[in-house]
């Protein structure tokens, strides 16, 4: 890449000289003279040129340019004039895309204070290295707010963080805590509850929401397995209403189709996990899509991966449990049916480990039922909408935040080129540079 030089050599036509020559009485021909001068580079002006651009708004430009000024995208497309003072990045042979958005993660692992002291900086850089410029943390230790502050105030580099915290809406435990939360809950027959769960007192829910809002979180989140004649929909409705009173959004985890069809009655803002327990009928698909609530994928949760001995494992390394095998198909098929019916479908992994690895896992499972073009649409515009930042990120359009990745290859041609991130810009600043 163009070195981050403070000056660059620019050829300038000396129009003054031309003008004088033209006005002289001596009948001299007009000569265009030129000279080379040093122009100071303004690093808040970045001009990416010669690029294959996927703008996330439905356009693809060949040999296009992207102009960034003061942290924002100011122009994108063909025929854009390079400002003299711009830092120029030649993206020949590469693809320029919106920064990736992770719509569902859990970030802090182990002892939160130790993690903050020893791992947070490396982990945040790993997100940027993988191309993620925005990450939604849906339940983490409260230290996540301090992490967000450090990133926002420039103390460490990291993605934009959106944060959520847990509100209980019934007395059922959310699941076995040692493995993937989306995988080990009680939504799967024959484990489904046969008795109503206990009701959480309304005041407990109201206080929990207010406490979350007071601390500065962006989202409330709950996990729902509905129980026969249980309190779930009523309590969830209360949680959603209280959440909205405080200007936050409500996330609901529901992975069984029976759970999902109930929780949408409470009108939450955001659904996490594609339902992967139970195959949706066309009518059920339509009911879910008509609710108008965005959903985040996390299909990799139930994918089959293999260890070095070719043994089937879950993506987090646990041995594969064959009683979950139907979910490998039901999740992706439900996703495709919901997509066909027009749902807003965002990208999210629900993982706790390496961002690039989890991107690979999620792409593998999305690719079962979606094309490269669909997946890019999911990862850009749809995820931005699913996290309520569609006015700010998710596409390369004038006025939006300059969150940009440069990829060594073309993901429309080979999806897994998305793993080859060469350069990342967040808010107009270069945060990863391997060019
Ligand atoms: Zn989760």
Q: Return the pLDDT at 184.
A: 61
- Whether residue 174 sits in one domain with residue 86: no
Separation of CA 382 and ligand 1 centre (Å): 19
Structure tokens, 103: 């719509």
- Whether residue 155 sits in one domain with residue 37: no
Structure tokens, 371: 């094309």
Which stretch of 52-56, 133-137, 177-181 has the lowest confidence by average pLDDT? 177-181
Write the CATH number for 367: 3.20.20.140
Separation of CA 64 and ligand 1 centre (Å): 38
β-pairing, 60-69 with 42-54?
A: antiparallel
Separation of CA 84 and ligand 1 centre (Å): 47
Residue 68 CA to residue 18 CA, distance in Å, equals 33
Write the CATH number for 429: 2.30.40.10
- Whether residue 23 sits in one domain with residue 120: no
- Whether residue 271 sits in one domain with residue 124: yes
Separation of CA 180 and ligand 1 centre (Å): 8
Work out the pLDDT band at 245, boundaries 50, 70, 90: very high
- Whether residue 400 sits in one domain with residue 332: no
Ion ligand 1, residue ranges at CB < 5 A: 350
Separation of CA 103 and ligand 1 centre (Å): 10
Average pLDDT over residues 430-435: 96
pLDDT tens sequence across 360-389: 999 999 999 999 999 999 999 999 999 999
Range of the domain at 379: 100-395
Separation of CA 353 and ligand 1 centre (Å): 12
DSSP category for residue 81: P
Separation of CA 350 and ligand 1 centre (Å): 5
User: Following CA atoms 330, 332, 333, 334 in sequence, which dihedral angle do they give, to the nearest 10 degrees?
Assistant: 80
Neighbours of 3 (CB within 10 A): 8
Q: What percent of the chain has pLDDT over 70?
A: 89
- Whether residue 111 sits in one domain with residue 88: no
Mean pLDDT of the chain, nearest integer: 90
**Residue 325 contacts by C-beta under 8 Å, 6 or more apart in sequence?**
none
> 332 pLDDT exceeds 70?
yes
**Residue 403 contacts by C-beta under 8 Å, 6 or more apart in sequence?**
98, 99, 133, 134, 160, 393, 425, 426, 427
Separation of CA 105 and ligand 1 centre (Å): 6
Q: Return the pLDDT at 386.
A: 98
Q: Return the pLDDT at 7.
A: 54
Which stretch of 9-13, 213-217, 392-396, 405-409 has the lowest confidence by average pLDDT? 9-13
Domain count, the chain: 2
- Whether residue 256 sits in one domain with residue 182: yes
Residue 165 CA to residue 144 CA, distance in Å, equals 10
Average pLDDT over residues 179-208: 84
Separation of CA 395 and ligand 1 centre (Å): 25
Separation of CA 11 and ligand 1 centre (Å): 54
- Whether residue 427 sits in one domain with residue 377: no
Neighbours of 80 (CB within 10 A): 16
Residue 108 CA to residue 102 CA, distance in Å, equals 15
Which stretch of 31-45, 191-205, 343-357 has the lowest confidence by average pLDDT? 31-45
Separation of CA 351 and ligand 1 centre (Å): 7
- Whether residue 255 sits in one domain with residue 196: yes
> 18 pLDDT exceeds 50?
no
Q: Return the pLDDT at 186.
A: 79
The whole-model pTM stands at: 0.90
- Whether residue 108 sits in one domain with residue 95: no
- Whether residue 321 sits in one domain with residue 182: yes
- Whether residue 202 sits in one domain with residue 110: yes
Separation of CA 20 and ligand 1 centre (Å): 71
Work out the pLDDT band at 192, boundaries 50, 70, 90: confident
Separation of CA 17 and ligand 1 centre (Å): 67
Q: Return the pLDDT at 173.
A: 61
Q: Return the pLDDT at 8.
A: 57
């Amino acid at each position: 890449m163009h070195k981050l030089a403070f000056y660059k050599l620019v050829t300038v036509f000396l129009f003054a000289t031309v003008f004088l020559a033209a006005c002289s009485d001596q009948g001299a021909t007009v000569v265009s003279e030129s000279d080379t001068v040093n122009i100071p580079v303004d690093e808040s002006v970045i001009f990416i040129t010669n690029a294959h651009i996927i703008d996330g708004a439905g356009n693809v430009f060949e040999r296009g340019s992207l102009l960034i000024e003061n942290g924002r995208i100011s122009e994108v497309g063909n025929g854009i004039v390079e400002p003299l003072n711009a830092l120029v990045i030649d993206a020949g042979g590469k693809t320029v895309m919106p920064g990736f958005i992770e719509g569902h993660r859990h970030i802090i692992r182990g002892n939160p204070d130790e993690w903050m002291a020893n791992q947070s900086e490396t982990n945040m850089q790993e997100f940027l290295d993988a191309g993620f410029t925005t990450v939604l943390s849906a339940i983490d230790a409260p230290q996540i707010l301090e992490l967000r502050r450090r990133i926002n105030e420039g103390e460490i580099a990291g993605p934009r963080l959106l944060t959520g915290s847990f509100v209980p809406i019934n007395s059922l435990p959310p699941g076995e805590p040692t493995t993937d939360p989306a995988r080990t809950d009680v939504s799967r027959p024959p484990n489904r509850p046969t008795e109503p769960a206990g009701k959480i007192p309304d005041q407990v829910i109201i206080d929990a929401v207010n406490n979350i809002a007071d601390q500065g979180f962006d989202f409330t989140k709950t996990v729902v397995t509905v129980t026969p004649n249980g309190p779930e929909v009523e309590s969830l409705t209360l949680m959603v209403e209280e959440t909205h009173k405080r200007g936050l959004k409500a996330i609901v985890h529901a992975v069984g189709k029976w759970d999902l069809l109930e929780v949408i009655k409470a009108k939450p803002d955001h659904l996490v996990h594609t339902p992967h327990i139970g195959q949706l009928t066309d009518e059920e698909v339509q009911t879910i899509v008509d609710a108008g609530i965005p959903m985040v994928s996390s299909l990799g949760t139930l994918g089959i991966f293999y260890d070095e001995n070719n043994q089937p494992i879950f993506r987090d390394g646990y041995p594969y449990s064959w009683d979950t095998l139907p979910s490998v198909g039901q999740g992706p098929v439900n996703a495709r049916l919901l997509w066909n019916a027009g749902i807003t479908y965002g990208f999210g992994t629900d993982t706790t480990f390496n961002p690039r690895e989890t991107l690979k896992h999620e792409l593998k499972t999305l690719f079962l039922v979606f094309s490269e073009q669909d997946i890019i649409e999911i990862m850009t515009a749809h995820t931005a909408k699913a996290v309520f930042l569609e006015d700010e990120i998710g596409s390369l359009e004038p006025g939006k935040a300059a969150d940009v990745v440069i990829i060594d290859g073309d993901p429309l041609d080979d999806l897994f080129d998305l793993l080859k991130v060469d350069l990342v810009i967040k808010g107009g600043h270069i945060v990863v540079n391997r060019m």
